[in-house]
Amino acid sequence: MSSGEHETRCENARVNPPADTPLAAARTLQLRQPDDWHLHLRDGAALEAVLPYTARQFARAIVMPNLRPPVTTAAAAVAYRQRILAALPAGLAFEPLMTLYLTDNTPPDEIRRARDAGVVALKLYPAGATTNSDAGVTDIRKTRATLEAMQREGLLLLVHGEVTDAEIDIFDREAVFIDRVMQPLRRDFPELKVVFEHITTAEAAQYVAEAPGPTAATLTAHHLLYNRNALFTGGLRPHYYCLPVLKKERHRVALVQAATSGNPRFFLGTDSAPHAAAMKEQSVCGAGCFTAPAALELYAEAFEAAGALDKFEAFASLNGPAFYGLPVNEGRITLKREPWALPETLPFGDALIKPLRAGDTLNWKMCP
């Protein structure tokens, strides 16, 4: 190995390039440690299998409550938090930020208990919109008193922004949600902090950029990297199937533009959603892309392709804490330009799981 090559290896990548090195040519990228503002960790053996990937990259994550049964009470969130911490490998520091699953019947009283238990947000799933969302909200008007309590107590509302009406084409469900739900919600609860989760359309990006009140959006790596062709390249590709489903190229371009714009309303949320490979590869395939094993590498690829690596730290590490009203992390992480192959499969309890891009070579690698 030549000394030149040696310099590119992770163990020597402690510093950013000199200030005059163009970022486009940078071999290393050092960032304040990021957080994942939208994550599915599951429970039991699945939790144990997937948690280390996230805890290695992120200091904190907003943990989705769509377990079976869903996490609907402060007590259940506290118990789930304990199970997550118990599953954390020794030596890894990680803070799960807990959420409750909003139902038609979440009592307004539960909001104070949730706040006192450290819960930071409630998740609105329109009933039937996605994986484990049967207990979701059937009509947002039923949750009015609870949303008022959240606005008062300072808990955030995280929304899965798709209508579930079978009459509406699946590719239009996010845009219709803006008119039917987001606009009235913003009007009726002007102080409520609302995160439009994993946005997938130009319409949602524009709405979030212009919306009144404290409004933000998370963006996944897969929606920044792929359009809906990825679902059908050479055959049906179940590992690219997630909800909201990938959209046309013009939407992907608008999402990249939003993520790299420097607008603090847009930040990182992987929506890493693990499902066993056998479950993805069958006649009815569950929705969700498992991106946690290479989340930051995938985002770096998207920012690099846009020539916007200089905007990556704000998106990954600064904008989310600012919106949630939390301090930024003190630690630093380093990504290195170093090709490596993502494994074909990874253990998942008694089963196997395939990460998005399984078997592919990635160009960025997070240093251990």
Which residues contribute to the site for ligand NCD (CB under 6 A)? 40, 66, 130-132, 160, 242-243, 271, 273, 287-288
Identify which of residues 162 and 301 has a Cβ nearer to ligand NCD in the complex: 162
Closest CA to 183 of 207, 202, 164, 206: 207
Identify which of residues 35 and 162 has a Cβ nearer to ligand NCD in the complex: 162
The DSSP bridge partners found for residue 186 are: none
Cis peptide before 65 (omega within 30 of 0): no
Q: Which stretch binds Zn ion (CB under 5 A): 44-52, 121-129, 268-276, 359-367?
A: 268-276
Phi first, then psi, for residue 195 (nearest 5°) are -110, 120
Give min distance, CB of 270 to ligand NCD, in A: 10
C-alpha to C-alpha distance for 174 and 217, rounded to whole angstroms: 13
Identify which of residues 45 and 287 has a Cβ nearer to ligand NCD in the complex: 287
Residue 48 near which of ligand NCD, Zn ion, none (CB within 5-8 Å, type-dependent):
none
Query: Which residue in the set 48, 271, 297, 301 belongs to the binding site for Zn ion (CB under 5 A)?
Result: 271
C-alpha to C-alpha distance for 103 and 14, rounded to whole angstroms: 47
Give min distance, CB of 123 to ligand NCD, in A: 9
User: Is the distance from CB of 191 to CB of 155 less than 8 angstroms?
Assistant: no
User: Is the distance from CB of 243 to CB of 261 less than 8 angstroms?
Assistant: no
**Marked catalytic residue, from 271, 310, 350, 360:** 271
Identify which of residues 174 and 271 has a Cβ nearer to Zn ion in the complex: 271
Q: Which stretch binds Zn ion (CB under 5 A): 28-36, 134-142, 221-229, 263-271?
A: 263-271
Q: Hey, CA dihedral for 37, 43, 44, 49, is it positive or negative?
A: negative
> Torsion angle, CA of 362/254/321/105, rounded to 10 degrees?
-110
Give min distance, CB of 314 to ligand NCD, in A: 24
Cis peptide before 69 (omega within 30 of 0): yes
Give min distance, CB of 42 to ligand NCD, in A: 8
Tell me whether residue 271 is one of the annotated catalytic residues: yes
Closest CA to 51 of 106, 2, 92: 92
Residue 242 near which of Zn ion, ligand NCD, none (CB within 5-8 Å, type-dependent):
ligand NCD
Residue 60 near which of Zn ion, ligand NCD, none (CB within 5-8 Å, type-dependent):
none
Phi first, then psi, for residue 121 (nearest 5°) are -160, 165
Identify which of residues 238 and 304 has a Cβ nearer to ligand NCD in the complex: 238
Helix intervals (H) in the chain: 3-7, 44-57, 74-87, 109-116, 144-153, 173-177, 183-188, 202-210, 221-225, 249-259, 277-280, 295-305, 312-313, 319-324
Give min distance, CB of 20 to Zn ion, in A: 41
Q: Which residue is at the shortest CB distance from Zn ion?
A: 271
Give min distance, CB of 99 to Zn ion, in A: 11
Identify which of residues 40 and 336 has a Cβ nearer to Zn ion in the complex: 40
Binding site for Zn ion (CB under 5 A): 271
Question: Which residues are the active-site residues?
Answer: 271
